[in-house]
Structure 1
Amino acid sequence: MDRLVAIGEAAQTLGVSITTLRRWEAEGRLVPEHTAGNHRRYDLSKIKPELFFAGTDERRTIAYARVSSDDQKADLERQKQVLELYCARQGWTFEVIADLGSGMNYHKKGLKRLLDAVVDGRIGRLVITHKDRLLRFGAELVFAICEAKQVEVVILNQGEDTTFEEDLAKDVLEIVTVFSARLYGSRSRKNQKLLDGVKKAVEDSASC
């Protein structure tokens, strides 16, 4: 099956009229590619990915693990072991993607790789130990994308993550550190004193 098709075949595949496709294009909802002769061509792998990734062997299971800092590497290994054991028991063919970085950082290599695979329709299932292992804030948006792409999301523990407070403190500390680096450049003693106080408070709370 060709991935790029003319407007008539695309409309038939989606079960809509050609007029509807043209209206979607005008609204920016579905943007076709154009040939050298300026003919519309629609990529079925994007608008109907299940036609290309319908088999369980083709749409993989991805298990995702994350911790915030180097001193949590032992916890990262535990997460990976739990995920590997669970997926193996289900008989799934799977891959583990692991990140070391703040749950507030949306630019982690593993997370970007995971999201690219979801959007491209190459994943059929996402497995995580806790919701917060994916992102501190914004996990629901990722879950919505997964739902739109027909990706099953499996969360092994629906309760609160046992490392929540420690991990959140590290995430906040990272944000403070970034702002410190920026504001120190202004050589403002007031800013330095304020940020030093905030960092100390966060570090104290993390050690309690």
Structure 2
Amino acid sequence: MELLSIREAAKKLGVHPNRLREWEKKGLIRPIRLPSGHRRYPTEEIDRILKAGGMNETEPDAVALYARVSTKKEADAGNLDRQLERLRAYAGEKRYRVVAEYTDVASGLNQKRRGLDRMLKAAEQGEFKRLLIESPDRLARFGFDYLERHLKFCGVEIEVISPKEPEEAHAELVQDLLAIITSFSARIYGARGGRKIRRGFQELMRRVREE
């Protein structure tokens, strides 16, 4: 009888290792415990799940929504609520069952977002099969492909509901560009130089908008 480690078993089943731990808690799979305490999964048990087409413990129409705006000012203006409303409407049209909603008021450059962290943990535990977002930059300004790959490994597909970014996203992009420029300028020229370059960039963007 061949035994697989939790990572080997998860890879063969195409799920995250945390999913196997959840299945064990529910009594859906029973690994063998070594004297060291480590789990080992018989290949026969893995083959049984594969032949059955997976556990299917989460309904295929179960989806989560993720919405984000960069600033509290945007949230207070109702941009976050409108974004969620559009996501809910889309889910309703597709007859998806919304099981969770996650939101953040933070820059897309910020990787330490409470809503994003909660969403990723829920995905790793197999709580939904599909994540609805309005546009890729709502999830991350940079590194979207890595998040998409991780979620896919967890068995979650990302569904982008709008091929075109909303108007408020353009303003956020300018703010994120300002943050990047200020950060790099401050490192090169010091804090005062960073602020000076930021003001110059803001003036340039103002002229572009006027033209």
Specify whether residues 137 and 36 from structure 1 end up closer, same or farther in structure 2 by C-alpha distance, changes over 3 A only: same
Following TM superposition, by how much is the alpha carbon of 1:35 offset from its aligned partner in structure 2, in angstroms? 5.0
Aligned pairs for 1:1-208 (under 5 A) are: 7=3, 35=33, 37-38=35-36, 40-42=38-40, 51-52=54-55, 54-56=57-59, 60-73=62-75, 74-94=78-98, 95-175=100-180, 191-204=190-203, 208=209
Q: CA–CA distance in 1 between the matches of 2:41 and 2:85?
A: 38
- CA deviation string 1:63-103 (max 9, x = no partner): 10001011211211110110111112322221221110000
Following TM superposition, by how much is the alpha carbon of 1:135 offset from its aligned partner in structure 2, in angstroms? 0.4
Specify whether residues 43 and 80 from structure 1 end up closer, same or farther in structure 2 by C-alpha distance, changes over 3 A only: farther
Q: CA–CA distance in 2 between the matches of 1:15 and 1:111?
A: 24
Q: CA–CA distance in 1 between the matches of 2:11 and 2:162?
A: 39
Specify whether residues 137 and 43 from structure 1 end up closer, same or farther in structure 2 by C-alpha distance, changes over 3 A only: farther
Q: Which runs of 5+ in 1 are unaligned?
A: 1-5, 17-32, 184-189
Q: CA–CA distance in 2 between the matches of 1:176 and 1:88?
A: 41
Number of equivalenced pairs: 176
Q: How many percent identity over aligned positions?
A: 24
Q: CA–CA distance in 2 between the matches of 1:53 and 1:195?
A: 53
- CA deviation string 1:85-134 (max 9, x = no partner): 11123222212211100001111000011111222222201001111111
Q: CA–CA distance in 2 between the matches of 1:15 and 1:96?
A: 28
Query: Which letter maps to 2:58?
Result: G
Query: Which letter maps to 2:121?
Result: D
3-state SS in 1 of match to 2:81 = helix
3-state SS in 2 of match to 1:127 = strand
Query: Which letter maps to 1:86?
Result: Y
Following TM superposition, by how much is the alpha carbon of 1:199 offset from its aligned partner in structure 2, in angstroms? 2.3
Quote the residue 1:21 is aligned against: none
Contact 1:53–1:122, Cα closer than 8 Å, also in 2: no
Q: CA–CA distance in 2 between the matches of 1:152 and 1:81?
A: 21
Question: RMSD of the alignment, in Å?
Answer: 3.8
Following TM superposition, by how much is the alpha carbon of 1:167 offset from its aligned partner in structure 2, in angstroms? 0.6
Q: Which runs of 5+ in 2 are unaligned?
A: 13-30
Contact 1:53–1:121, Cα closer than 8 Å, also in 2: no
Specify whether residues 161 and 201 from structure 1 end up closer, same or farther in structure 2 by C-alpha distance, changes over 3 A only: farther
TM-score by length of 1: 0.67
